[in-house]
Amino acid sequence: MKQFTGFPAKMQFTPLPNFFFSTLLPQISDITELKTTLHILGALYRKRGYPRFITYRELLSNTSLMRSLKEATKPPDEVLRQALEMATRRGTILHIVLDRDGVPQDIYFLNTDYDKQIVAKIQNGELSLTGLKTRGQKSIETEEQPDIFTLYEQNIGMLTPMIAEELLEAEKLYPETWIKDAIKEAVSLNKRNWRYIARILERWSSEGKGDGTYRQDFKKTAPDKYIKQKYGHMVRR
C-alpha cells in the first residue's frame, strides 16, 4: 500500500451536511456506496446553476472515483451501478431516466425537498433540462427564463441550503414574478442579500407593488406567518 504523504498547506475544502455524519453515515456499511455517495456530494457542491444533478456518464468518467471502485471480481462500471442502486434505495439520491437523442440517460439528484419538487416537475412535463427529455416529451429545451433559484445565484450569491429553503417558503407566499422583481430591485440598489429581498416582498405585500397589484390580488399566506417561521429573523427590520 502506498503511503499517503499528507495534506498540502493550501487546499480547497468541500463542505458536507452535518446530517450526513449524524444520520446517513451510520447507516452505510458498504464501502463502495460510501465512496460513491461522497463523490456525488462533492460533485454537486462544485456545480453551478440550478437544478443541480449528476449523470451516470459523469460519474463513470470520474477517474478518481472509478479507480477507487476497482475490484478483482467485478468491473468498475458494474460496481458503480450497484453502489448507485444502494444509494437510491437508501434514499440518499433520487434517480430518473431521461432521453438524449433516443438514448436513455441516468440522472441523479440529491434527495432534498427542493430536488423532489424539481424531479416532480420534470416527470409531469413542467420543466425540461437542456438536451434531455422524458419519454414521449417533444420539447427538449430548458425554460427560457431562469427560475428564482438560478436568478438568485446569478445575481446575489451562492445558494446555500438555508437560502434555498427561504426561497421555497417565499414561493408559497408571493407570485414568482414578485420574487424575481424583488431580486432585480435589490441588485439595482446594490443590496445583494436575502434580508433586503424579503423586506421588499413584505413591503409590497402590505403597501402594494408599483405595478398596481396588492396582496389581496393573490391567495397567499399572510407575511406575518412567514416572519414567524424557522428563519423569520432574517426578514425582520
Tell me: do 30 and 119 sit in the same domain.
Answer: yes
Is residue 187 situated within a structural domain?
A: yes
Dump the DSSP string for 35-54. Answer: HHHHHHHHHHHH--SSS--E
Tell me: do 93 and 37 sit in the same domain.
Answer: yes
Per-residue buried b or exposed e for 147-160, using 16+ beta carbons within 10 Å of the residue's own CB: bbbbbbbeebeebe
Write the CATH number for 119: 1.10.10.10
235 pLDDT above the threshold of 50: no
Question: What pLDDT is attached to residue 72?
Answer: 63
Backbone phi, then psi, for 78, in 5-degree steps? -70, -40
Backbone phi, then psi, for 38, in 5-degree steps? -65, -40
Is residue 77 situated within a structural domain?
A: yes
The beta-strand segments (E) located in 59-102 are 93-100
Range of the domain at 166: 148-234
139 pLDDT above the threshold of 60: no
Dump the DSSP string for 161-224. Answer: HHHHHHHHHHHHHS-HHHHHHHHHHHHHTT--SHHHHHHHHHHHHHH--TTS--GGGS----HH
Which among 123, 156, 191 is the end of a domain?
Answer: 123
Is residue 6 situated within a structural domain?
A: no
Higher pLDDT, 78 or 158: 78
Tell me: do 152 and 113 sit in the same domain.
Answer: no
69 pLDDT above the threshold of 60: yes
